[in-house]
Amino acid sequence: MIYQDLLDKNTKLAVIGLGYVGLPIALEFAKRIQVIGFDINAGRIAQMQRSEDPSRELSAADFQNRDITFTSNIDDLKEATFFIVAVPTPIDDTNLPNLKPLLGASRTVGQVLKKGDYVVFESTVYPGCTEEDCIPILEEASGLKFREDFMVGYSPERINPGDKEHTLQNVIKIVSGCCDESLDQIAQTYELVVAAGVHRATSIKVAEAAKIVENTQRDVNISLVNELSIIFNKLGINTFDVLEAAGTKWNFLKFYPGLVGGHCIGVDPYYLVHKAMQAGYHSKVINSGRYVNDSMGFYIGKQTAKKIIAQGKIIQEAHVLVMGATFKENVSDIRNSKVIDVISELKSFQINVDVIDPQADSSEMEHEYGVSLTTTLRSDYDAIILAVNHREYMTLDEAYFKTLLKDGKGIFVDVKGIYRNQIQDLTYWSL
């Protein structure tokens, strides 16, 4: 049995893709069994060989006493018999699934696949992707037959960047296999590292659907409160005040307005919409939720511009400071950050924009969005937008913000309502 061989260190487990998802999984397994950590980015591999996490989520201590080899050499994968694929599954510019990384990883594994091997996919996909898109590539690249020669499973990742509470060990892991035997072997393997236990899904498609529904449900709920915030803004009432009052009921679901980006919630619903279209159904609720959430950055930018104009300022001469550029608080990840939509909307009004972020990398921002981070702050901004509530911003106060604004006056846009009831003298606005 492959589980026992892994436990006895007679064989190795390989993780393909060492990003936010793959690296923590690889290091956790390496506490118990022999692991090969594979990534096509040789530069990232060099960092991990030095006990550095390129994503800056893990410390050097997390690399210590781990039985792991980091490599970008495909030949090294031949030593493994259990493969976990954890590469990103983004969308393209038209919001369609971009399976290129996943299919490329499938071909890589297929080139080293042997009889008796196991392949488990963790990348978020639409129901059916593993069997319809990935397995044919595994068969083609290996010359082997699915189920006869190798087994496949799916176990969706549930890692939340920046979250030190809901870690791999502490969250129940969904697992699935292509047959009862494979399900049992895969479940036992993951139970080595997941203290919370595993949930055995009835099929690979069910496991795929479960993951994508988790994020779609959250996306739709956030879109509702985002739409409510637009309505309440027109009615002159604070959304967070409303939600605080409504939240006193026992069964009220506590979701809050904000920018919905990142590589999960802002992406995964499009995978489900795409698959629904293939099945002949045009999703209404999910698409509507995506429209609302995708438009919030532009909405915030426009509202800020309107308030600057309302103060009698010449809009082309206005300066705005945007605080925060990552897709969420306390992470360095800028992928699919919707803060860029705020910036783009401000610039469409010819407003001068400075961007700061204590977590983000300026060169990455420049490469990804053509926006570099500011190192020197002005003292004459017309507006400040607190876009991401990093821990570094939580100790600031109105007096500090005044030092950045022209004549100590101006507009303070508090996207997440962090400073609600704390701003007295400035023009305050939040979602």
What are the pLDDT digits (tens) for 100-111?
999 999 999 999
Average pLDDT over every residue of 240-265: 94
Both tokens assigned to 70: 């980091």
Mean pLDDT of 14-19: 96
Instruction: Look up 264 and say whether it is catalytic.
Output: yes
Please state, as a whole number, how many other Cβ atoms lie within 10 Å of the Cβ of residue 107.
15
Q: How many angstroms separate the CA atoms of 111 and 105, rounded?
A: 10
Nearest to 302 by CA among 338, 256, 351, 259: 351
Residue 291: pLDDT above 90? yes
On the question of pLDDT at 170 being above 90, the answer is: no
Which pLDDT does position 162 carry in this prediction? 66
Burial 158-194 (b: 16+ CB within 10 A, else e): bbbbbeeeebbeebebbbbbbeeebbebbbbbbebbb
Q: Is 80 exceeded by the pLDDT of residue 166? A: no
pTM: 0.92
Mean pLDDT of 350-358: 97
C-alpha dihedral sign at 103, 53, 370, 350 = positive
Neighbours of 301 (CB within 10 A): 26
Strands 151-154 and 173-177: antiparallel
Q: Which candidate in 129, 134, 178, 264 is catalytic?
A: 264
Residue 161 has pLDDT above 70, yes or no: no
Helix H or strand E segment including 323: strand 319-323
What digits encode the pLDDT tens for the residues 180-231?
A: 999 999 999 999 999 999 999 999 999 999 999 999 999 999 999 999 999 9
Name the band, by pLDDT with cuts 50, 70 and 90, for residue 1. confident
Tokens of 397: 């106060």
Average pLDDT over every residue of 21-26: 94
Question: Following CA atoms 161, 173, 218, 248 in sequence, which dihedral angle do they give, to the nearest 10 degrees?
Answer: -100
d(C-alpha 386, C-alpha 155), whole Å: 37
pLDDT at 261 over 70: yes
pLDDT band at 167 (very low <50, low <70, confident <90, very high): confident
Q: For residue range 379-420, what is the model confidence (pLDDT) as tens digits?
A: 999 999 999 999 999 999 999 999 999 999 999 999 999 999
pLDDT at 168: 74
Domains of the chain: 2-202 (3.40.50.720), 226-429 (3.40.50.720)
Look at residue 231 in the predicted model and tell me its pLDDT. 98
| Cβ partners under 8 Å of residue 199, min gap 6 | 172, 173, 174, 175
Question: Is 200 within 8 Å of 187 (Cβ atoms)?
Answer: yes
The pLDDT score that the predictor gives to residue 163 is: 64
* pLDDT in the model for residue 200: 98
pLDDT at 323 over 90: yes
Q: Which two tokens stand for residue 40?
A: 């096509």
What token pair was written down for 255?
Answer: 């979701």
DSSP β-bridge partners for residue 82: 13, 118
Give the tokens for residue 227: 């739409």
Q: Determine the Cα–Cα distance for residues 40 and 76; give it in Å rounded to an integer.
A: 12
* pLDDT exceeds 90 at position 165: no
- Angle of helix 268-278 versus helix 204-235 axis, rounded to 10: 110
